[in-house]
Amino acid sequence: MHPLDRSEGHATRLQVVNTVLAARRYFLDGASKSEIAQELGISRFKVARLLEAARRDGVVRIEIGTPADIDLDLSGELISRYGLRDALVVRAIEGTDEFKREQLGRACAELLTETLEASDVLGISWGRTLHSMVGHLTRLPGCTVVQIVGSVPTLELDINSMEVVRRVADCSGGPVYPLPVPLLVDSPEMAAALRSDPHVHKTIAMFDRLTIAVVGIGAWTASGSTVRSALPEDLAAALDAAGAVADVCSNVLDSSGREIRAGGLPGRLIAISPEQLRAVPDVVAIAGGAAKAPAILATLRSGLIHRLITDEEAARLLLTS
C-alpha cells in the first residue's frame, strides 16, 4: 500500500473516532463545543463540522417525541394568537383543583430546569400554582434568586412568598435575595420607610437586574385573588368599580390589560412595579382553569409576559375570546 493511502486511512479513522466522541460529549453529556475542542485538540469550528456530519451521516439520529401531557396544537395556536414567545398547554386531566395545579407546576418546573443557566437572575412571585411548582424542582443551576413581592397573608402557613423563594433557592444553591416585609402596608409613607431599609433596598435593587421572572396570575375575585382578599373593603370596592379583573405581582389590571391605580394602591405595595416587570427579558406566567381565563386574557393584553403555562380548559377559552 502506498504510504499516502495509509495516511488517508488513518486520517479517516481518526475523523470517525472524533465524530463519535464529539457527538457523545455534545448530545449525551451536554458539553459545549469549546470544551470538546479543547479535549480533542481541534478548533471549535471543526467540532461544529463534526457534529453536522454526525447528523448528516446517521451517526446521530434525533427523534422528537411529543410529551403526552402537552397539547402542541393548542400551544402553537396560543403563540400565534397572542404573539407569545412560547406557550405550554397541559392536557385536560380529571381531578381536584389542587391536582390540576400540580400538573401546571410540574410543567413549569421542567421548563425552568431545562432553560435556566447559572448566570441568570431569577425573580419569583408567589401563588398556589408556584408553590406546586417548587415541589417538582430537584436541582437548578446556581442562579441568583430574587423575591419580587412582599409576603402575602394567607391561612395556609406553608404557602407564602418567602417559602416559595426559599425552596427555589435551596434547589439552585446560588445567592438569594429575600423580601422579608409585607406586600401591602397601611400608607405610602410606611411603604417608603420599609423600602429604605438596607436589607429590603438590597433586594429591590435586584429587580432591575432580573433576566427571567416566574409569576402567577390572580383572578380578581374573593376566592381567586389573595391580594384582593387582603385589602380593606373600601379599597377592594374601589378597584372593583374601576374594572379590576386580574393581578400580577400585586399589580391590578383591567380587562384590556391596563394597570388600575385606584385608591392609591401602588404606593402602598412593596413589590416589583409594572415598569420593572416589563423590562425583564423573559417573564413566564403560570395559571389555569376556566375561572382564571379572563385574568389570563388581561395579562396577555398587558404585554407583561412572554411565555404562558396554562391548561386546556383555559386555552380553549382564550382562543375563543
| Helices and strands (DSSP H and E) totals, the chain | 14, 10
Q: Which residue has the higher pLDDT, 281 or 266?
A: 281
* Single-letter residue type at 312: E
The answer on 211 and 95 residing in a single domain is yes
What's the mean pLDDT when you consider all of the chain? 87
* Single-letter residue type at 308: L
The answer on 282 and 238 residing in a single domain is yes
Q: Is the pLDDT confidence value at 214 over 90? A: yes
pLDDT band at 301 (very low <50, low <70, confident <90, very high): very high
Q: What is the pLDDT of residue 213?
A: 97
**Cα 108 to Cα 102: distance, rounded to the nearest angstrom:** 10
What's the 3-state SS for 44-95? HHHHHHHHHHHHHCCCCCCCCCCCCCECHHHHHHHHHHHCCCEEEEECCCCC
The answer on 77 and 52 residing in a single domain is no
The answer on 22 and 103 residing in a single domain is no
The answer on 51 and 81 residing in a single domain is no
CA angle 29, 34, 37 (to 5 degrees): 90
**Contact criterion met (CB below 8 Å) for 308 and 296:** yes
Q: Which residue has the higher pLDDT, 32 or 219?
A: 219
User: Is 67 part of any domain?
Assistant: no
| Mean pLDDT on 95-103 | 82
**Cα 187 to Cα 189: distance, rounded to the nearest angstrom:** 5
Measure CA 309 to chain center.
9
Q: Is the pLDDT confidence value at 4 over 60? A: no
User: Is 189 part of any domain?
Assistant: yes
Q: What is the pLDDT of residue 157?
A: 43
| Mean pLDDT on 131-147 | 90
State which of 44-48, 129-133, 290-294 shows the largest mean pLDDT.
290-294
pLDDT band at 159 (very low <50, low <70, confident <90, very high): low
Q: What is the pLDDT of residue 10?
A: 43
**Cα 204 to Cα 177: distance, rounded to the nearest angstrom:** 9
The answer on 124 and 94 residing in a single domain is yes
User: Is 21 part of any domain?
Assistant: yes
pLDDT band at 130 (very low <50, low <70, confident <90, very high): confident
Give the range of the structural domain holding residue 144, as residue numbers without chain letter: 72-319
* Single-letter residue type at 288: G
Question: Using N-to-C axis directions, what is the helix angle for 3-23 and 44-56, rounded to 10°?
Answer: 90
Q: What is the pLDDT of residue 7?
A: 41
Q: What is the pLDDT of residue 22?
A: 87
The answer on 80 and 51 residing in a single domain is no
The answer on 94 and 38 residing in a single domain is no
159 burial type by CB count under 10 A (0-12 exposed, 13-18 middle, 19+ buried): middle
Joined together, the cell numbers standing for residue 281 give 427579558
User: Is 64 part of any domain?
Assistant: no
Q: Is the pLDDT confidence value at 161 over 90? A: no
CATH no. for residue 284? 3.40.50.1360
The answer on 94 and 24 residing in a single domain is no
Q: Which residue has the higher pLDDT, 85 or 227?
A: 85
Domain count for the chain? 2
Q: Is the pLDDT confidence value at 257 over 70? A: yes
Q: Is the pLDDT confidence value at 1 over 50? A: no
Q: What is the pLDDT of residue 12?
A: 67
User: Is 65 part of any domain?
Assistant: no
User: Is 66 part of any domain?
Assistant: no
